[in-house]
């Protein structure tokens, strides 16, 4: 039986990351860095794709205001979608492009889809994450319960913001995946899969290091840089979006 190991969400990508993924037996990485426009993500993903590793470009879109943002992960996008638009606006843009939408780290802190969001948008989600290194075990269990309660297929990812986390968590699909379209189809079809991760004290330390990375992610300095200039690449007022999202932007 053909199997494909997929890490459906990483934030970092360079030669060391690609080498580490291959050494850990990962066949597919989904690259979705913060505050980076889709064309740049595509270019970098293509640069590190070879016969041994497929890198699929994606966007983790930050919806809503910073204090109550909701993250959604979109694969198969043709056109860029900015951050800091309403959740309805984001799903509308995804629907227009027939994108594959995943729920990363459900219920985590103030940055994730929660029970009410699953009730409203669950039929538009292809899968929900049930194992994420940034989360503590009880948080992963809570996410699993929510995903299972809504009858959604599961996935797990390294959510690697740090190179050392790549290859710690993966989702093994029981099918061959050779392209971004194949991966989207595997999610949309509810293809059989297993969520797997490494174990032991090294894995635990890497999980805790990812959690600690949140301290920088949520600083005021980062918020100020992203929100106030209006010139960040994924700000909805950026000239690249030509005003198309003015009716749903929150900043």
Predicted TM-score (pTM) of this structure: 0.93
Helix, coil or strand: residue 61: strand
> Residue 250: which of 113, 24, 62, 116 has the closest Cα?
62
Average predicted confidence (pLDDT) for the chain: 93
What's the token pair of residue 72? 């959604």
The model's pLDDT over 207-219, given as tens digits with 9 standing for 90+, comes to 888 888 776 665 5
Residue 95 to residue 105: CA distance in whole angstroms:
21
The model's pLDDT over 183-236, given as tens digits with 9 standing for 90+, comes to 999 999 999 999 999 999 999 888 888 888 776 665 544 555 555 555 689 999
pLDDT at 59: 98
pLDDT at 231: 67
Least confident of 71-85, 143-157, 219-233, 237-251: 219-233
pLDDT at 206: 87
Band (109; pLDDT cuts 50, 70, 90) = confident
Region 146-154: what's the mean pLDDT? 97
Region 92-111: what's the mean pLDDT? 95
Q: Are 56 and 75 in contact (CB under 8 A)?
A: yes
pLDDT at 237: 92
CB atoms within 10 A of CB 172: 16
What strand order describes the sheet that includes 100-103? 154-156, 127-131, 100-103, 70-75, 54-63, 28-31, 4-10, 169-173, 193-197
122: which DSSP letter? G
The model's pLDDT over 37-81, given as tens digits with 9 standing for 90+, comes to 999 999 999 999 999 999 999 999 999 998 888 999 999 999 999
pLDDT at 66: 83
Domains and CATH numbers, the chain: 4-241 (3.20.20.140)
Conformational region of residue 202, where left means phi above 0, alpha means psi within -120 to 50, and beta covers everything else: alpha
pLDDT at 222: 56
What's the token pair of residue 176? 């061959």
Q: Are 211 and 136 in contact (CB under 8 A)?
A: yes
Region 151-167: what's the mean pLDDT? 96
**Ranges assigned E (strand) in the chain:** 4-10, 28-31, 54-63, 70-75, 100-103, 127-131, 154-156, 169-173, 193-197
């Amino acid at each position: 039986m053909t199997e494909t190991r997929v890490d459906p969400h990483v934030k970092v990508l360079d030669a060391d990351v690609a080498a580490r993924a291959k050494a850990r037996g990962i066949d597919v990485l989904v690259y979705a860095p913060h505050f980076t426009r889709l064309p740049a993500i595509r270019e970098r993903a293509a640069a590190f794709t070879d016969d041994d590793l497929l890198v699929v470009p994606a966007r983790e879109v930050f919806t809503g205001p910073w204090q109550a943002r909701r993250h959604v992960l979109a694969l198969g996008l043709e056109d860029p979608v900015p951050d800091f638009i309403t959740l309805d606006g984001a799903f509308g843009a995804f629907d227009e492009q027939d994108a594959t939408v995943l729920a990363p780290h459900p219920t985590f802190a103030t940055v994730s889809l929660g029970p009410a969001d699953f009730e409203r948008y669950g039929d538009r989600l292809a899968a929900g994450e049930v194992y994420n290194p940034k989360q503590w075990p009880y948080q992963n269990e809570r996410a699993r319960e929510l995903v299972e309660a809504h009858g959604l297929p599961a996935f797990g990812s390294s959510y690697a913001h740090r190179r050392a986390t790549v290859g710690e968590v993966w989702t093994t699909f029981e099918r061959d995946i050779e392209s971004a379209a194949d991966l989207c189809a595997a999610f949309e079809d509810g293809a059989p899969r297993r969520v797997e991760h490494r174990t032991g004290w090294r894995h635990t330390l890497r999980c805790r290091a990812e959690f600690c990375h949140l301290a920088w992610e949520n600083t005021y300095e980062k918020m100020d840089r992203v929100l106030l200039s209006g010139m960040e690449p994924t700000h909805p007022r950026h000239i690249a979006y030509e005003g198309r999202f003015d009716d749903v932007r929150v900043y």
